[in-house]
Structure 1
Amino acid sequence: MAFRPSGSSMVPLIRSRQQVVVAPVDPSKPEIGDIVLARAAGTVHLHSVSSLDPARKRVQISNNRGRVNGWTSHDRVFGICVAVDGVTRPKVADKTLAADSNDSS
């Protein structure tokens, strides 16, 4: 999915209205510094993973300005940012989920 988020909370990693591409993610694979699309504190954010808690199957997300949005469970991590304005993000290829070719819906 490609879209153009607005706001300055992720500058300089993502500037307002830059095109980002987000792919489905295995929620157990993001690492600190990865940019994920996740719901935390009732809002969906495109923010960085700032801490991991594998035992409780959750991640903490934060913007790039020092604000922590909070902890969220793996089932609320919807995707990982794989590209910004056509530039591939590092170390994301092995974290995405392949589309299910057997899906008949």
Structure 2
Amino acid sequence: MGALDAVAARVAAGVTVSFRPTGSSMVPLIRSRQLVTVAPVDPSAIDVGDIVLARVAGSVYLHLVSAVDNHRSRIQISNNRGRINGWTNHARVYGICTTVDGVSRPRLAGKLRPS
């Protein structure tokens, strides 16, 4: 179980979590070790361009939503360098990134799941 698995479990349980992810796949949106906050989300409200915490093919990622298929209740996530991680269903979307280093992400209205 990786560090993001533990974060995903907490967010899935309804907790808003702040943590410092590592890696460079989301630069310049998120740089390695920047403080991010992820809150529980209503997956049906997610749009392309949102940053979500989701499980795809057995791994948990904090990546961009690159496509939405509400008819089949799924989203596609990708890093910020053009690599597509794949499709995942709404049940595997745990949270949405609300802030990066204290700066709010856009278009959050109506997307957060009530605690």
Q: TM-score range by the shorter chain?
A: over 0.9
Q: Tell which structure's C-alpha radius of gyration is larger.
A: 1
> Which residue of structure 2 lines up, in the alignment, with residue 103 of structure 1?
none
Aligned length, in residue pairs: 99
Shift, 1:6, TM fit: 0.1
> Which residue of structure 1 lines up, in the alignment, with residue 33 of structure 2?
17
Q: Deviations over 1:8-66 (max 9, x none)?
A: 00000000000000000001011000000000011000000000111110000000000
Normalization by structure 2: what TM-score? 0.85
Following TM superposition, the consecutive aligned residue runs of length 4 or more in structure 1 with deviations greater than 3 angstroms are: none
Shift, 1:93, TM fit: 3.1
Do residues 57 (structure 1) and 83 (structure 2) align?
A: no
- Measure, in 2, the Cα distance between the counterparts of 1:77 and 1:40: 9
Please report the RMSD computed on the Cα atoms of aligned residues, expressed in angstroms: 0.5
> Which residue of structure 1 lines up, in the alignment, with residue 57 of structure 2?
41
- Measure, in 2, the Cα distance between the counterparts of 1:92 and 1:2: 17
Identity %: 67
**Secondary structure at the counterpart of residue 87 of structure 2:** strand
Q: Deviations over 1:72-100 (max 9, x none)?
A: 0000000000000000000113200111x
**Secondary structure at the counterpart of residue 14 of structure 1:** coil
Partner amino acid for 1:83? T
Do residues 94 (structure 1) and 110 (structure 2) align?
A: yes
**Secondary structure at the counterpart of residue 95 of structure 2:** strand
- Measure, in 2, the Cα distance between the counterparts of 1:6 and 1:12: 13
> Which residue of structure 2 lines up, in the alignment, with residue 82 of structure 1?
98
**Secondary structure at the counterpart of residue 28 of structure 1:** helix
Q: Which has the higher helix share?
A: 2
Stretches of structure 1 lacking an aligned partner (at least 5 in a row): 100-105
